[in-house]
Amino acid sequence: MHMLGNIAAVVLEAVNLFLRLGGSEAIGSIGAIISGLVVLILAFTGWKGGELVYRHRVGIEEGDSAAR
């Protein structure tokens, strides 16, 4: 979920950029909605990333070599 959410955020922001380059109408309406949605997605994926590290110990080296 962490990876898929981050990919979705990047794709949504690319769409947002494309819409904003097309004209100023999209900045106030759909552009703001997309930006708000991306903020929510990034908050969720940040939480999931924290769980990966602190709960599931992904990327954490255990044992004597971790103290060096």
Would residue 15 count as lying in a domain?
A: yes
Using the predicted structure, report yes or no on whether residue 58 has a pLDDT greater than 90: no
Using the predicted structure, report yes or no on whether residue 55 has a pLDDT greater than 90: no
Supply the range of the domain harboring residue 6. 2-53
Would residue 42 count as lying in a domain?
A: yes
Q: How far is it, in rounded angstroms, from Cα 19 to Cα 52?
A: 34
Q: What's this model's pTM, rounded to 2 decimal places?
A: 0.75
Residue 1 is which amino acid? Answer: M
Q: For 24-48, how does the pLDDT look when each residue is reduced to its tens digit (9 = 90+)?
A: 665 778 888 999 999 999 999 999 9
Q: Give me 28's structure tokens.
A: 């106030």
Q: How far is it, in rounded angstroms, from Cα 57 to Cα 47?
A: 14
Would residue 62 count as lying in a domain?
A: no
Q: Are 45 and 6 in contact (CB under 8 A)?
A: yes
Would residue 14 count as lying in a domain?
A: yes
**pLDDT range class, residue 60, cuts 50, 70, 90:** confident
Would residue 60 count as lying in a domain?
A: no
Residue 8 class from Cβ within 10 Å (0-12 exposed, 13-18 middle, 19+ buried)? Answer: middle
